[in-house]
Structure 1
Amino acid sequence: MDLKQLTIDKYETREELILNGIWKGEIYKNVDLSTRNGRGWLWKTLVIDGEGDMEEIVEVPTLTEDHEQSPQPKVPKGQKDRGIRRLTPIDVKRHPLSSTGIKQDDRAVEDDDTTMKEKLEIIDLDLSRLMLDDIFQEKEVHNEMRKIMYNYLIRRSDDCSYKQGYHELLGMIYLQLHEDKQMSMENKGTELKNILFIFEKLMKPMAFFYNENQLIKWENKVFQPLLRTCCPKLYGIICCDDNHTNLLWLLRWTRLLFMRELPRDYTLVIWDHLLTFLYPADTFVACVVVVLLLNNYKVFTEEVEDHDDLVELMLHFNSRMRSMIDCVELCKMAGKLCEYWYVQDAQSMKTLSDNFLKIKFNVDRDFEPDGTVDPNRIRIEEKLRRRVKQTLLTSSKDSK
Structure 2
Amino acid sequence: MPSLDVGKIDEHPLAVVNGINMMENKEMIDLDVSRLHSTQINGPNEEAALQQILVSWVKSSGVEYRQGMHEICLVLYLESGKDTDVGYTWYANVMRWLYPLFYRDSGVNEWIENDFCPLIQSQSPRKLHEILTVRYRISHAVWCIRWCRLLFIRELDGPGQYLPVWDELYNVENKGKFMASVIVVMLMCIIPELTEAQNESECLFLLLNYPKLKVPIENVIKWAKMMYDNEQPESADTFAAIGKMPLEETVLRESNAGWYSKYKDYDVNRIRMEMRLKRHAKWRLSK
- The TM-score with structure 2 as length reference comes to 0.80
Say yes or no: does 1:271 pair with 2:163. Answer: no
1:327 corresponds to which residue? 217
Residue 350 of structure 1, CA deviation: 7.8
Residue 196 of structure 1 is aligned with which of 47, 66, 88? 88
Q: Does the C-alpha gap of structure 1 residues 242 and 211 become closer, same or farther in structure 2, counting only changes over 3 Å?
A: farther
1:134 aligns to what SS in structure 2? coil
* Gap change, CA 1:235 and 1:64, over 3 Å in 2: same
Deviation at 1:340, TM superposition (A): 0.9
Rounded Cα–Cα distance in structure 1 between residues aligned with 2:43 and 2:199? 44
**Alpha-carbon offset, residue 56 of structure 1:** 4.5
What CA distance in whole angstroms lies between the structure 2 residues aligned with 1:113 and 1:310?
41
- How far residue 221 of structure 1 moved from its aligned partner, in angstroms, is 2.0
Task: Note the C-alpha offset of 1:358.
Answer: 4.0
Q: CA shift at 1:289, angstroms?
A: 0.7
Asked whether the 8 Å contact 2:66–2:103 carries over to 1, the reply is: yes
Asked if the contact 2:9–2:22 (Cα under 8 Å) also holds between the matched residues in 1, the reply is: no
The amino acid that maps onto 1:118 is: E
- 3-state DSSP of counterpart to 2:142: helix
Deviation of 1:64 (Å): 4.1
Residues 128 and 136 of structure 1 are in contact (CA less than 8 Å); yes or no, is this contact kept in structure 2?
no
TM-score by length of 1: 0.58
Partner of 2:110: 217
The equivalent position to 1:254 in structure 2, one of 129, 132, 148, is 148
1:214, CA displacement in angstroms?
2.2
Larger RCO, structure (CA 8 Å, separation 6 or more): 1
CA distance in 2, matches of 1:310, 1:234: 11
> Residues 214-253 of structure 1 correspond to what in structure 2 (within 5 A)?
214-232=107-125, 233-240=127-134, 244-253=138-147
Rg comparison, structure with higher value:
1
Question: What aligned pairs does 1:281-300 form with structure 2 within 5 A after superposition?
Answer: 281-300=175-194
Paired residue secondary structure (1:258)? coil
Q: For residue 148 of structure 1, what is the amino acid of its counterpart? A: I
**Contact 1:230/1:350 (CA < 8 Å) preserved in 2?**
no
Following superposition, the deviation at residue 114 of structure 1 comes to 5.8
Alignment check: 8 A CA contact 1:126 1:167 kept: yes
Amino acid at match of 1:371: N
Q: 2:74 aligns with which of 171, 175, 194?
A: 171
Is 1:147 matched with 2:60?
Answer: no
Which residue in the other structure is 1:68 paired with?
Answer: 15
Alignment-mate amino acid for residue 290 of structure 1:
V
Is 1:313 the counterpart of 2:211 in the alignment?
Answer: no
Query: 2: distance between equivalents of 1:239 and 1:212?
Result: 23
Q: Residue in 1 aligned with 2:269?
A: 371
**Aligned counterparts of 1:294 and 1:235: Cα–Cα separation in 2:** 11
Counterpart secondary structure, 2:134: coil
- Cα distance 1:352–1:129, how it changes in 2: closer, same or farther (>3 A)? same
Say whether 1:205 aligns with 2:205.
no
Q: SS at 2:249's partner residue?
A: helix
Partner residue of 1:138 out of 18, 21, 43: 43
> Quick one: distance in 2 between partners of 1:216 and 1:287?
16
Cα distance in structure 2, aligned partners of 1:155 and 1:346: 47
Q: 1:308 to 1:254 in 2, by over 3 A?
A: same
Between the aligned partners of 2:30 and 2:228, the Cα distance in structure 1 is 38
Pairwise CA distance, 1:329: 1.6
Q: Identity of counterpart residues, as a percentage?
A: 22
Q: Secondary structure at the match of 2:67?
A: coil
* Residue 33 of structure 2: aligned partner: 127
Shift of 1:134: 2.5
Maintained 8 Å contact 1:68/1:115 = yes
**What is the letter of the counterpart of residue 221 of structure 2?**
C
Distance in 2, Cα, partners of 1:192 & 1:346: 49
Shift in CA distance, 113/224, structure 1 to aligned 2, threshold 3 Å: same
Matches within 5 A, 1:51-66: 55-60=1-6, 61-66=8-13
> Is the Cα–Cα contact under 8 Å of residues 173 and 195 in structure 1 kept in the other structure?
yes
Q: Where does residue 281 of structure 2 map in the other structure?
A: none
- Partner of 1:124, secondary structure, is helix
Runs of 4+ in 1 over 4 A off after TM superposition: 241-244, 346-350, 363-366
Report the Cα offset of residue 328 of structure 1: 1.2
Could you tell me how far apart the structure 2 residues matched to 1:210 and 1:241 are? 29
Deviation at 1:68, TM superposition (A): 2.7
The answer to whether the Cα contact below 8 Å between 1:294 and 1:357 also exists between their aligned partners in 2 is yes
